[in-house]
Structure 1
Amino acid sequence: MANKIMVSIECTSYNHENFIAEALDSMLMQRTNFTYEILIHDDASTDRTAKIIKSYEQKYPDIIKPIYQTENQYSKGVLVEEFNLERAKGKYLAVCEGDDYWTDPDKLQKQVDYMETHPQCSMCVHAAERVSAVTKKPVSVMRPSHKNKIFSVEEVIEGGGDLFATNSILYSREKISEMPDFYLNATVGDYPLVIWGALNGTLCYIDQNMSAYRVDVKGSWTSVQVSDVAKKQKHLQEVAEMLDEINAFTNYKYNCVISRTKNRDRFYILLKQMKIKETMKRGYRQFYMKPEFFKRVFKRITI
């Protein structure tokens, strides 16, 4: 029983040779009273990423369990996260992509302790720091609350994809056993994942900074997809389609917040396009009065 795996760490990687060692070291430094495994999926990296992973695999064969693709699966439209999900043995699953890392050696223990004493909880997240991959310096903090908090489904939907850092997520495999179509069809995995978590139990936020989320990573999903207005617009259209799927899936229980979230996203795209007159139309003007406008508008129009 002592060797039973409590946490499976899901790590996807592609051309992360400058980051993967730090990511793996941050996982291996975890101080726990339970056993965990590190599941790595390398999507046919063309740099030294696979070689670095192999060196860690040789050193920690009982912990590090990689898959080395010979052909890139993401470019074929395959949901690469599924490769790790299908083989996970842990009661809980933690997420950390190959270009991110954890900063607190007790992160997993703190989250598991909470989950074990709160059986209604389906997902546990925490604060994180955004760190520039270029300067290696902190850029901002992802801290949606200044105290521990249970986030409602409505707050998670309205919070958007950057409400929580992906590498802060730990969730129950029992409560989130099968992924719905709106997750499988989505172009990005973290936003629909946290919504699905909130729909299947309570989503707990721990107000402690325990990980670093890299930004400005060359070739990353974000840098490729939202590097200009047209790509950002396409991305938000795909998000809107995902939200429509969630709306139908939940029998329109969250129609109000979904409609408001879609309108807000359109509002920020218009701002980014400098279409100020259109932002003054009915349905958009309300967002000028929101406190978040002053905190987020400059970041959004300069992405």
Structure 2
Amino acid sequence: MALILTVVVPAYNVERFLEKTLSSFIFDKMSGRVEIITVDDGSSDRTAEIARSYEEKYPGVFRTISKENGGHGSTINRGAEAACGKYFKVVDGDDWVDSEAFEKLTDFLEASDADCIVSNYCEVNDTTGEMTPVEYNRFFPERRDMPFSELAGSVSLALHSMTLRTEILKNNPRRLDEHCFYVDVEYILFQVPYLRSVAFCDANVYRYRIAQQAQSVSLLGFQKHVGEHALVSLRLAEFAREYEQAEGAERAKAAYITERTAQMAVSQAMIFQSFPHGDRKVLEKFKKYDSDLKRTNEAVYLRSSALSPTLRLLRIFRFRFYRLILWARGKVLRKS
């Protein structure tokens, strides 16, 4: 029996979470249908030991790859190289899946030929336990496979919602940045040129843990890794330009890549703005990033201005009156 699904679990010092993660993949008819590859990214805790215990208990289903630390992107790159399933999904080592929904997804994948399968997920507050569903049902009213171009103008895909045909990742010459955070958007957008059809599996599969202070997507995390976020943002801007100029580029896909990259540029601006407004070093880095973005991809630059009135105003005044503009924005936000 051919493997239906490979799940790659990027894992770095997640001993506190990993048993919950790996146990959530277990269902009665998983053997010969799914493989779970934990990629230990040079952990210094019991992460690799826990992963190997599942490999011993469920041989042929769980596998462990241990490697030197290379960051989130490196674990996905390594997992894609090792994957044997028809489809490929990423579940981070501190997240988990709903076991029944995961089995339903596996059944769906077995019968599917789409390049990308979209499923619902939940954001789970790590402090309160509150679950907030993120659902895609409205984008698939007829429950049929759809050309990506039909969805591109309306749906914003997330890593947590996507299951991809493995051969797309294996054949894609682009690899995710390594030794770097914030490569989720790279994972999504680098595959877009190769996506023809998208299908929807009506199951709430992924449980995405949020509100952890140490997360790279917390405010402190964003500030700590502001340079890495900028690096990924500029690489995506370059990718968006290259795809738009490529022979045979599809307009809907180019517009989708540009829009998502512009959104990331706005996020980058907001990270810079989150620092104390009198920090001259941060302001100089902000101005350099903005100049680099304009030089790399003017379409993304202009679209990010349209998405962010504050960023547009800063650019109009060439970052003069920086503190005044941000003060005024804060006052407006407090009133609203």
Q: What SS is found at the alignment partner of 2:217?
A: helix
Given the alignment of the two structures, is residue 79 of structure 1 paired with residue 74 of structure 2, yes or no? yes
- In structure 2, what residue type is equivalent to 1:124? I
Hey, what's the Cα distance between the residues in 1 that align with 2:185 and 2:41? 22
Q: Is the 8 A contact 1:123 1:197 kept in 2?
A: no
In the superposition, relative to structure 1, how do residues 271 and 176 fare at CA in structure 2: closer, same or farther (>3 Å)? closer
Compute the displacement of 1:263 (Å): 4.5
Give 2:121's aligned residue. Answer: 128
Deviation readout 1:37-90 (Å, 9 max, x if unpaired): 111111222222222223222211221111233x4233xx97222222222221
Map residues 208-227 of structure 1 onto 2, 5 A cutoff.
208-223=203-218, 226-227=221-222
The answer to whether 1:199 aligns with 2:193 is yes
The amino acid of 2:163's aligned partner reads: L
| TM-score (ref. length: structure 2) | 0.66
1:79 is paired with a residue whose SS is helix
Cα drift, residue 226 of structure 1 = 4.2
1:152 aligned partner, one-letter code? F
Equivalent-residue separation in structure 2 for 1:141 and 1:72 (angstroms): 33
What is the CA–CA distance in structure 2 between the aligned matches of 1:106 and 1:64, rounded to whole Å? 19
Pairs within 5 Å for 1:58-77:
58-69=56-67, 71-74=68-71
The answer to whether structure 1 residue 142 and structure 2 residue 134 are counterparts is: yes
* Residue 152 (1) aligns with residue 125 (2): no
Alignment of 1:184 onto 2:176: yes
Q: 1:250 to 1:206 in 2, by over 3 A?
A: farther
Q: Which residue of 1 aligns with 2:297?
A: none
Q: 1:102-121, aligned counterparts within 5 Å?
A: 102-110=97-105, 113-114=108-109, 116-117=111-112, 119=113, 121=114
Summarize the alignment of residues 161-176 of structure 1 with structure 2, pairs less than 5 Å apart: 163-164=157-158, 166-176=159-169
Please report the RMSD computed on the Cα atoms of aligned residues, expressed in angstroms.
Answer: 3.8
Deviation, 1:212, is 0.4
| Alignment match, 2:17 | 19
Residues 158 and 226 of structure 1: CA distance in aligned 2, closer, same or farther (over 3 Å): farther
Structure 1 CA distance for aligned equivalents of residues 116 and 236 of structure 2: 20
The range that moved more, 242-251 or 215-224, is: 215-224
SS in 2 for 1:80: helix
Partner Cα separation in structure 2 for residue 264 and residue 78 of structure 1 = 20
Residue 44 (structure 1) aligned to one of 42, 45, 67: 42
Unaligned ranges ≥5, structure 1: 276-281, 290-297
Provide Cα deviations, 1:192-248, integer angstroms capped at 9, x if missing partner.
Answer: 2322433222233445322201113454443488433x7457514522322322330
CA drift at 1:13: 0.4
Deviation of 1:156 after TM superposition, in Å, equals 5.6
Counterpart in 1 of 2:5? 7
CA contact (8 A) 1:122 1:202 kept: yes
1:151–1:240 CA distance, 2 compared to 1 (3 A): farther
Pick the structure with greater CA Rg. 2
Q: Distance in 2 between matches of 1:207 and 1:134?
A: 28
Letter in 2 for 1:227: F
For residues 128 and 236 of structure 1, do their structure 2 counterparts lie closer, same or farther at Cα, with a shift above 3 Å needed?
Answer: farther
1:158–1:53 CA distance, 2 compared to 1 (3 A)? same
Identity %: 19
> Would the alpha carbon gap of residues 247 and 109 (structure 1) be closer, same or farther in structure 2, given more than 3 Å must change?
farther
Q: Distance in 1 between matches of 2:32 and 2:15?
A: 29
Residue 240 (structure 1) aligned to one of 234, 239, 248: 234
Q: Which residue of 1 aligns with 2:93?
A: 98
Check whether the contact 1:5–1:35 (CA below 8 A) recurs between aligned residues. Answer: yes
Distance in 1 of aligned mates of 2:197 and 2:258: 23
Distance 1:81 1:122, change over 3 A: same
Question: Aligned AA for 1:59?
Answer: K
Specify the code of the residue in structure 2 equivalent to 1:73. Answer: G
Greater helix share, 1 or 2?
Answer: 2
Q: Which amino acid aligns with 1:141?
A: P
Structure 1 residues 233 and 82 mapped into 2: Cα distance closer, same or farther (>3 Å)? Answer: closer
> What letter corresponds to residue 92 of structure 1 in structure 2?
Y
- Mapped to 1, the partners of 2:84 and 2:256 lie a distance apart of 36
**TM-aligned CA deviation for residue 110 of structure 1:** 3.1
Q: Does residue 287 of structure 1 match 2:307?
A: yes
What amino acid maps onto 1:125 in structure 2? V
Gapped regions of structure 2 (runs ≥ 5):
278-301, 310-329
